[in-house]
Amino acid sequence: MVIFPNCKINLGLNIIGKRSDGYHNLESVFYPILIKDIIEVISGESFQFIKSGLEIPGSDADNSCVKAYYILKKHFSDLPAIKLYLHKHIPSGAGLGGGSADGAFTLKLLNDKFHLNLSTKQLIDFCLEIGSDCPFFILNKPSFVCGRGELIEEFPLDLSGYSFAFVHPAIHINTAWAFSKIKPAVPLKSIREILKEPVLQWKHELINDFEIPVSNEYPVLKDIKSALYQYGALYAGMSGSGSSFYGIFEKNAVPSFSFDKNFRIDIIK
């Protein structure tokens, strides 16, 4: 059985408070984007995890796909051994939620393949054992997300009439470090209200709280954002804690880019 986890972007991201459990409360709108990894599961004599594609930092035991399997194994002792293949195409440490997507999609795949009959709520609860962004990928629709990421409300937003450009400068951002640079504060205007306005107006109000501290540490990120606007983006911003930036363009109006040769560029028309 094969599945194709997609990534997401953050349309605005506000860190509004520190929780007693060590996590942060946030608000953001997550929007699914069709840059995808590939996961395949086949039966095996013992659990095996095989990966290809882009490099994935960390040990295999910390990989979200592996965590997903063993989380289910705790609750379903008769869950069969599998060979779990991951081909990585979504860059890691880029703020696109690729690792979270892989974990969530692995849960969904195993639930379907082995007829575990888990409800959406159960899948979301298991996702929270993997990471804060994971629950979104169970629903995988434009959503207003708050709490630590577990409170998800479908948000009526359709950007299919626009094209996207993504620039990833091969800088891996450590999420814990990024959070350490944030001073939580409640925004004067909710992201939900800002996103009701035309895309062209977002430039003046839609903010990702990570963008300034992360860009101050890596000044090239400021250059990327400026360039996206120079190339005609209606809105440009950083996704998650970075380092990927995206630009929203009029449909089929993304020009040819000339960034550093080590930068990765993806176009979604």
Is the CB of residue 92 less than 8 Å from the CB of residue 244? no
Other beta carbons within 10 angstroms of residue 36's beta carbon come to: 17
- The rounded Cα 191 to chain-centroid distance in angstroms is 18
Other beta carbons within 10 angstroms of residue 189's beta carbon come to: 12
Is the CB of residue 165 less than 8 Å from the CB of residue 247? yes
The tokens describing 2, both together, are 């094969």
| 266 catalytic residue (yes or no) | no
Is the CB of residue 164 less than 8 Å from the CB of residue 268? yes
Of residues 8, 67, 88, 225, which has the active-site annotation?
8
Strand order in the sheet with 264-268: 235-238, 245-250, 162-168, 264-268
Other beta carbons within 10 angstroms of residue 257's beta carbon come to: 15
| 133 catalytic residue (yes or no) | yes
Is the CB of residue 29 less than 8 Å from the CB of residue 151? no
Of residues 88, 102, 108, 133, which has the active-site annotation?
133
Catalytically active residues are: 8, 133
